[in-house]
Amino acid sequence: MTLKKPTIDDVADRAGVARTTVSRVLNGGPNVREEVRQRVLKAVEALNYRVNPQARSLAGGGSRILTLVFASDLESEPNSFYASALELGALRGCLALGYQLLTHHVPQQSPDRRGQILDLIGSHKCQGMILTPPFADDVVLIEEVRRLGCRVVTISPGGAGRDVADGVGIDDEAGGYDIARHLLTLGHRRFAYIGGIEGHLSAARRQDGLSRALREAGLDPDSVELLRGDFTFRSGGILTAQLLDAPCPPTALVCANDDMAAGALSIAHGRGLDVPGDLSITGFDDTPVSAIIWPPLTTVHQPLKEMAHDAVAALVERLSGAAGGLGWHFHNLPHAVVVRESTGSPRPKPA
């Protein structure tokens, strides 16, 4: 326990420069000789100095407000664990870094959705924005937000978004691949995939991973039954019902999130199917629901809180840090397949 935290003046003394210069280095200001910059950075490191966000925000700078934007369909409650976990992570980050957080749920359907988001910037003087899917891949939106002088970091950008902003997420393609490998190893050959809404590129990438795994296994990716849900329990159920009505239903159902998988599970039960005997079902996210249903869901763990936390950190870095320009960076977090009891070997056909 250090009795006293080092201040900017301590760093200045140690580096033999003025407080002003240290501030300049820390905030990526111009007009600092490279040699001096290094010296300051070294002092910062040596003292393990961390700026005091309170003092910084008191002294100057902008509003220090960030906004976390979610797409909410009318159906999907903004109460979902997915949203809560991200907000929790973002909040923790903001608290530590001295920023405020605004959380907004924007109807994904609304034709004016972009306008609604852009308005937030003006009305709250928000300096940075965290975009979740599918907004994370709305390149037009991102450009407009930036034009308004607001920094952007995306969570789980699927591809398009990565070229225009910093992003945080897992390797969705690999996640899809891994879960498919798990299922293939169990002996499954007939797959269905309940994906996400149009434009949700990260869900699309999970499907890409599934396809790759099938291809490697010598199966035709096109044989996968493809459906589009909206990430709600309800849609998972409805689509699964359709699926099971088909003449030759799959033995493995891969869902793009846990909620839809839960919906699928409940429909399967309703039809008297044995899970995983008759149908293996997988989710994605590893939210608490996956452990709270029967059988507990095999799913892909995604570190949602960390993702949002890192997104805030990235935003703050851009905001106070060096070169604003290009050079977008994607911060890749680890994922993991969590095997529970909703998957197993397909039961040999009785017929």
Partner DNA sequence: AAATCAATTGGAAGCGCTTCCATTTTGAGG
Partner DNA sequence: CCTCAAAATGGAAGCGCTTCCAATTGATTT
The one among 87, 137, 172, 208 contacting a copy of itself by CB under 8 A? 87
Provide the minimum distance between the beta carbon of 45 and DNA in the complex, in angstroms, as a whole number: 15
Choose one: 4-12, 87-95, 215-223, 238-246; the region binding a copy of itself (CB under 8 A): 87-95
Q: Could you tell me if 175 and 210 are in contact, meaning their C-beta atoms sit under 8 angstroms apart?
A: no
State the DSSP code for 190.
-
Provide the minimum distance between the beta carbon of 193 and a copy of itself in the complex, in angstroms, as a whole number: 20
Does residue 100 bind DNA (CB under 7 A)?
A: no
Can you list the positions of beta strands (E) in the chain?
A: 65-72, 100-107, 128-131, 151-155, 166-170, 191-195, 225-228, 252-255, 280-282, 299-301, 330-333, 336-338
C-alpha–C-alpha distance, residues 25 and 21, integer Å: 6
Q: Could you tell me if 330 and 157 are in contact, meaning their C-beta atoms sit under 8 angstroms apart?
A: yes
Does residue 55 bind a copy of itself (CB under 8 A)?
A: yes
Q: Please report, to the nearest 10 degrees, the dihedral formed by the alpha carbons of residues 93, 96, 100, 106 taken in order.
A: 10
Which partner, DNA, a copy of itself, none, binds residue 9 by CB below 5 to 8 Å per kind?
A: DNA
Does residue 318 bind DNA (CB under 7 A)?
A: no
* Binding-residue pattern over the window 97 to 116 for a copy of itself, x denoting contact by CB under 8 A: -x-xx---------------
Does residue 18 bind a copy of itself (CB under 8 A)?
A: no
* Binding-residue pattern over the window 179 to 218 for a copy of itself, x denoting contact by CB under 8 A: ----------------------------------------
The one among 149, 223, 242, 294 contacting a copy of itself by CB under 8 A? 294
Which partner, DNA, a copy of itself, none, binds residue 94 by CB below 5 to 8 Å per kind?
A: a copy of itself
Which partner, DNA, a copy of itself, none, binds residue 87 by CB below 5 to 8 Å per kind?
A: a copy of itself
Query: Residue type at 119?
Result: D
The one among 45, 77, 198, 216 contacting a copy of itself by CB under 8 A? 77
Tokens of 276: 């995983």
Does residue 59 bind DNA (CB under 7 A)?
A: yes
Residue the block writes with tokens 């990260």: 202
How many C-beta neighbours within 10 Å does residue 124 have? 15
The one among 14, 43, 56, 162 contacting DNA by CB under 7 A? 56
Does residue 92 bind a copy of itself (CB under 8 A)?
A: yes
Long-range CB contact pairs, 291-294, < 8 A, 24+? 291/340, 293/262, 293/265, 293/266, 294/265
Which partner, DNA, a copy of itself, none, binds residue 220 by CB below 5 to 8 Å per kind?
A: none
Phi-psi region of 12 (alpha: psi -120 to 50; beta: other; left: phi over 0): alpha
C-alpha–C-alpha distance, residues 170 and 176, integer Å: 11
Which partner, DNA, a copy of itself, none, binds residue 120 by CB below 5 to 8 Å per kind?
A: none
What residue ranges bind DNA (CB under 7 A)?
4-5, 7-9, 16-21, 23-24, 26-27, 30-33, 35-36, 49, 51-52, 55-56, 58-61, 320
